[in-house]
Structure 1
Amino acid sequence: MKNELDFATKNGWVHYADRKDDMDAFAARYMDFLSHAKTERETVERVVEELKAAGFSEDFTADKVFRTWRGKAVFVARKGAKPLSAGVRLISAHTDAPRLDFKQRPLLEQAGVGQAKTHYYGGIRKYQWLARPLALHGVIVKEDGSVIRVTLGEDPGDPVFTISDLLPHLAQKEVTKTVAEAFDAEKLNIILGHSPLPAPEGEAGDEKKEAKDPVRANILALLNRKYGIREEDLMSAELQAVPAGPARYVGLDEALIGGYGQDDRVCVFTALAALLDAADPDRANCLIFWDKEEIGSEGSTGAQGRFLEYCMEDLVEAWEPGAKVRDVFQNSTAVSGDVHAATDPDWQELHEKLNASIIGHGPTFCKFTGSRGKYGANDAHPEYIGWLRGVLNAKDIPWQMAELGKVDHGGGGTVALYLAAYGMDTIDLGPAVLSMHSPFELLSKADLYSTKLAYQAILEA
């Protein structure tokens, strides 16, 4: 018999058993988004498409507005019944995900194989990126300012790319090394081609002269033919290698969604859907989707930049001239929308089970992030947590609260502390995932649905 004084999480599949059709329809929309938004630029483009379709404007005098920055960050605001100075309900998320970036001079040829050198971005386990199909996404900017879009490896007729792995027959020494030692970042070289540049027409027999690095030369020729570029153009390019192929259902019951970049594009998608479906708000609703979270939120498009601050200054000037921006921030509440680590069924010993999240049991509140004694953390105030509990419980939405691993073993960072720096009450809230930061992360359909409802309830509160 259950003790009514105890707290128990709710299984989303049981709780929403009568809403399976709604869950499936929402998951299908999400998987389409996830399959096409594989870079921060592509993510922002998809967000802007939906905002424009919903009547949002770049003119801040309107009631529903948005602004993008460098194609990688976007701010969204919707006017509420109360003045802006009463504060906003804000949800943030990040548009970037771990990946492999091309180096500025990437092209080389070794042992008859043409390759591209990479520099990994964010926290990856390097071995997970070997011997798997990769696609290339990004932009090449020429010296005249023209921008060339690149997406190769996603269509069925496209070639894919890969990084070769060492065969076990030659790996006797490697298997005795630590993972950090066995996988050298400078060997994360992507295979681009193998055939040499054909000799010019008219040359035959002994007249044919093989070019230096003929495979590399052929790759350059192919890039020139397809995109009209020279090697120098790659120095002003932003090319990312990401897992090829669409998001897929996982399991006989199709209850899990597998795909790349769910950390943190699931929170982008659910926060945007929540805003677009929310009833007319009491307080203004805001979204901020940032770049660079996976490398410390640095740069002009990251949470340590001033994009949010500048947008809020312009919003105050347009919606409530004379109000103080600091009053808006200090009267506001914020949710740092980011995923949490679900208890891994095969690695349960790394979690402190009483304070660990269970996949399928609703979005996870994380009171603090950081590591080793909460260093580098935002630590949410109990008054705010109590209010949030009331908001979700009133709507009967499943939720849970957890830490990221055991005290001396886990930890991580989010943008929460940068939001809290403005004086806003802030906490992390997002769905739990398995295989976080891998090329194929796993998310529960039930958590996807619950997270959207939780964000919507907070925006409407």
Structure 2
Amino acid sequence: MPDPMQFMSGLAEFVSAGPTSYHAVATMADGLVAAGFTRLDERQDWAGVSGRRFFTRGGALVAWAAPEQLAPDAGVRIVGTHTDSPALKLKPEPSFTRAGWQQANVEVYGGPLLDSWLDRELGLAGRIVTLDGAEHLVATGPVLRISQIAPHLDRSVNERLSIDRQYELMPSYGLGDGPDVFEWVCAQAGVPAGETAFGDIHVYPVQAPAVFGIGSEFFASSRLDNLSSTYPAYQAIRTVRPGRDIALFAAFDHEEVGSGTACGAAGPILSDALVRIADGYGLGRDAYQALLARSSCVSADAAHAVNPNHAGKYDPVVQPAMNRGPALKVNAQQRYATDAASSVLWERACRAVGVPHQSFVSNNDVACGTTIGPITAQRLGIATVDVGVPILSMHSTREMCGTSDPWYLSQALGAYWAGA
């Protein structure tokens, strides 16, 4: 069993290998096959659903470990995360020239901290799909940059801290009459020149993750929202063996833009998987609904640690800190799905492996975000609890967390799946 620092080395490698949801899913798919999971194809009949299996859909993945025979009182233990992060994405016809610079026309994906994209080296990554339906993953090195205006030219730049999304957020990638940026990315992916292709290409920060702090207690990286949950869940499911209940891991895409897609939590991917698994056991409609009633979900998504420079934005009593364990996320408006009954699930899992944990609740004057938890609870009607690793600078290109908390989360998720 790796210690927390070894675990963080694995997380760093995972982030570097997964600049987009498509890359993260490809990395997990390879790792699951290496761990003995069988890959299924949604377009074909599933000859069996027991054992350790998974399938992918775009930037989402569903994996499970299921017993040979399903006991009458068995349920499904679900852990849900998401694979996407706020970013910039290439628009169609993405190249244009301005003031002698070659620039990429981008749009904003999700709700990033826009100023964190400035003055840093950026790459391009995502998937390219050709007319034959073949998908090609691509990730470049540093090729772009969005430069700030110098204070000599705008004396108010440090006061206004606002960015025009259309005119001040365009990355530069060359001088003069350089190549079309999408055609260049296609060439990097090995797609022949002139072949019709379409892409889901994101801009991403290329800076490598790093451990820092006087006691090496902190970890800085892009995409901790939400690879700080996805990687711990992925590592935990790799070691799960079929037990009494079905252990299922759902890594959704598109959470940052509302989840309402074919591979998002508000779409059909999870219910599709559950229906086909139930069919594989020969369960009828009534038995399937009873299975759901015996099921539960841990929604794992990044939580907020208290920022000492903005402490007034947090609840004055409940103040989660780094390296004190994952946080139970609570909200009276049900922006998180946690309630008393589902909290017990989390408490039992943490106690089973001696993992410390804490709580997060918003300041009454500050609205909080939401997660896939309420969506899952609404769609399936199952007990759901929201938890997450406390981080700072959420939605920045350089978020940070404690070096113990992702490991704690993985241990607790493994205990939940094991039946705690």
1:393 corresponds to: 351
Q: In 2 relative to 1, CA 221–406 (structure 1 residues): closer, same or farther, beyond 3 Å?
A: closer
Which of 333, 339, 349 is equivalent to 1:381? 339
Is residue 2:155 matched to residue 1:172?
Answer: yes
Is residue 2:307 matched to residue 1:344?
Answer: yes
Which of 386, 407, 411 is equivalent to 1:428? 386
What is the CA–CA distance in structure 2 between the aligned matches of 1:393 and 1:93, rounded to whole Å? 22
SS in 2 for 1:115: strand
Is residue 2:297 matched to residue 1:334?
Answer: yes
1:12 corresponds to: none
Q: In 2 relative to 1, CA 230–451 (structure 1 residues): closer, same or farther, beyond 3 Å?
A: same
Structure 1: state its 5+ residue gaps: 1-18, 154-158, 197-214
Is residue 2:12 matched to residue 1:31?
Answer: yes
1:111 corresponds to: 99
SS in 2 for 1:123: coil
What is the CA–CA distance in structure 1 between the aligned matches of 2:22 and 2:181, rounded to whole Å? 26
How far the C-alpha of 1:219 sits from its partner, in A, is 5.9
Q: Is the 8 A contact 1:140 1:233 kept in 2?
A: no
SS in 2 for 1:138: strand
The aligned amino acid for 2:10 is R
SS in 2 for 1:116: strand
Structure 2: state its 5+ residue gaps: 41-45
Which of 77, 96, 108 is equivalent to 1:120? 108
What is the CA–CA distance in structure 2 between the aligned matches of 1:224 and 1:455, rounded to whole Å? 39
How far the C-alpha of 1:321 sits from its partner, in A, is 3.5
What is the CA–CA distance in structure 2 between the aligned matches of 1:451 and 1:247, rounded to whole Å? 19
SS in 1 for 2:260: coil
How far the C-alpha of 1:173 sits from its partner, in A, is 4.7
The aligned amino acid for 1:415 is I
What is the CA–CA distance in structure 1 between the aligned matches of 2:75 and 2:96, rounded to whole Å? 54
2:139 corresponds to: 151
How far the C-alpha of 1:344 sits from its partner, in A, is 0.9
TM-score between both structures, scaled by the size of structure 2: 0.90
How far the C-alpha of 1:427 sits from its partner, in A, is 1.0
What is the CA–CA distance in structure 2 between the aligned matches of 1:253 and 1:231, rounded to whole Å? 53
1:304 corresponds to: 266
Q: Is the 8 A contact 1:122 1:294 kept in 2?
A: yes
1:325 corresponds to: 288
What is the CA–CA distance in structure 1 between the aligned matches of 2:391 and 2:223, rounded to whole Å? 11
Higher helix share: 1
The aligned amino acid for 2:65 is R
1:50 corresponds to: 31
SS in 2 for 1:168: coil
What is the CA–CA distance in structure 1 between the aligned matches of 2:366 and 2:90, rounded to whole Å? 32
Q: Is the 8 A contact 1:117 1:190 kept in 2?
A: yes
The aligned amino acid for 1:112 is G
What is the CA–CA distance in structure 2 between the aligned matches of 1:160 and 1:129, rounded to whole Å? 14
Q: Is the 8 A contact 1:116 1:190 kept in 2?
A: yes
The aligned amino acid for 1:143 is L
How far the C-alpha of 1:380 sits from its partner, in A, is 2.6
Is residue 2:30 matched to residue 1:68?
Answer: no
TM-score between both structures, scaled by the size of structure 1: 0.82
1:77 corresponds to: 64
Which of 322, 330, 333 is equivalent to 1:359? 322
Which of 148, 157, 161 is equivalent to 2:144? 161
Is residue 2:277 matched to residue 1:315?
Answer: yes
What is the CA–CA distance in structure 2 between the aligned matches of 1:270 and 1:167, rounded to whole Å? 41
Q: In 2 relative to 1, CA 351–61 (structure 1 residues): closer, same or farther, beyond 3 Å?
A: closer
Identity of matched residues, %:
24
2:127 corresponds to: 139
How far the C-alpha of 1:423 sits from its partner, in A, is 1.4
Of stretches 121-130 and 82-91 in structure 1, the one that deviates more from structure 2 is 82-91
Which of structures 1 and 2 has the bigger CA Rg? 1
Q: Is the 8 A contact 1:84 1:283 kept in 2?
A: no
Higher strand share: 2
1:41 corresponds to: 22
Match runs of 1:255-274 below 5 Å: 255-274=217-236
Is residue 2:375 matched to residue 1:412?
Answer: no
What is the CA–CA distance in structure 2 between the aligned matches of 1:125 and 1:35, rounded to whole Å? 20
Q: In 2 relative to 1, CA 219–316 (structure 1 residues): closer, same or farther, beyond 3 Å?
A: closer
How far the C-alpha of 1:116 sits from its partner, in A, is 0.5
What is the CA–CA distance in structure 2 between the aligned matches of 1:263 and 1:409, rounded to whole Å? 20
What is the CA–CA distance in structure 2 between the aligned matches of 1:433 and 1:140, rounded to whole Å? 32
What is the CA–CA distance in structure 1 between the aligned matches of 2:352 and 2:322, rounded to whole Å? 22
Match runs of 1:10-29 below 5 Å: 22-29=3-10
Q: In 2 relative to 1, CA 73–224 (structure 1 residues): closer, same or farther, beyond 3 Å?
A: closer
Q: In 2 relative to 1, CA 127–229 (structure 1 residues): closer, same or farther, beyond 3 Å?
A: farther
Q: Is the 8 A contact 2:254 2:261 kept in 1?
A: yes
How far the C-alpha of 1:175 sits from its partner, in A, is 4.7
Deviations 1:420-453 (CA, angstroms, capped at 9, x unpaired): 1211100111110111110011111111111111
What is the CA–CA distance in structure 1 between the aligned matches of 2:236 and 2:179, rounded to whole Å? 50
